[in-house]
Amino acid sequence: MTDKTMHITLRPNEKIYLNGAVLRPDRKVTLELLNDATFLLEAHVMQAEDTNTPLKQLYFAAQVMLIDPDTADKTVMIFVEMLGKMLRTFNDPIILEGLRKCIDLTEQDKIFEVLKVIRGLFDREATIMGKKPASAKEKKTA
């Protein structure tokens, strides 16, 4: 085992997107990842119909880079274009700082970290747009 070893426990029928493949166990299972792998748990996957704000659309684009590595080159161009537009549109310092951090993380190919940063900005965006921030249950699926 190395310091890259990670254990992921999945419930029956819970999906994990792993290096472009979708896995769904029929029973509770613990996976041991012995090396670097790109993965996304089903709870963090946003559906296209839920992309009703600019940051959620940006999240969706980053998510596609992780889920479908075959189209990552094309998707990263879309992601960078969207990110540039948002940097010119938003004037909230916290959101702008988060978006700049996303640039750095994308350049380092740390897309999972990009998703975490964007998810952390959802409540701020909701407040700016005059919407109620998501409840804890909604956040779990976002």
Q: DSSP alpha helices (H): ranges in 1-142? A: 54-67, 72-89, 93-107, 111-128, 136-141
Same domain assignment for residues 25 and 84: no
DSSP conformational letter for 26: S
21 phi-psi bin (left φ>0, alpha ψ -120 to 50, beta other) = beta
Q: Give the pLDDT of residue 135.
A: 55
Whether 125 maps to a domain, the answer reads yes
Whether 27 maps to a domain, the answer reads yes
Whether 97 maps to a domain, the answer reads yes
Q: Examine the pLDDT at 100 and tell me if it is beyond 90.
A: yes
Q: Give the pLDDT of residue 3.
A: 67
Over the chain, what is the mean pLDDT?
88
Same domain assignment for residues 123 and 76: yes
Mean pLDDT is highest, among 28-42, 48-62, 69-83, for 48-62
Place of tokens 């992780």: 66
For residue 92, count CB atoms less than 10 angstroms from its CB and return exposed for 0-12, middle for 13-18, buried for 19 or more: middle
State which residues form the domain around 32: 6-43
Count: domains in the chain: 2
Same domain assignment for residues 10 and 37: yes
Whether 82 maps to a domain, the answer reads yes
* Cross-strand bridge partners of residue 29: 10
Same domain assignment for residues 68 and 14: no
Same domain assignment for residues 113 and 60: yes
Distance CA 37, CA 58 (A): 22
The verdict on pTM exceeding 0.85 is no
114 phi-psi bin (left φ>0, alpha ψ -120 to 50, beta other) = alpha
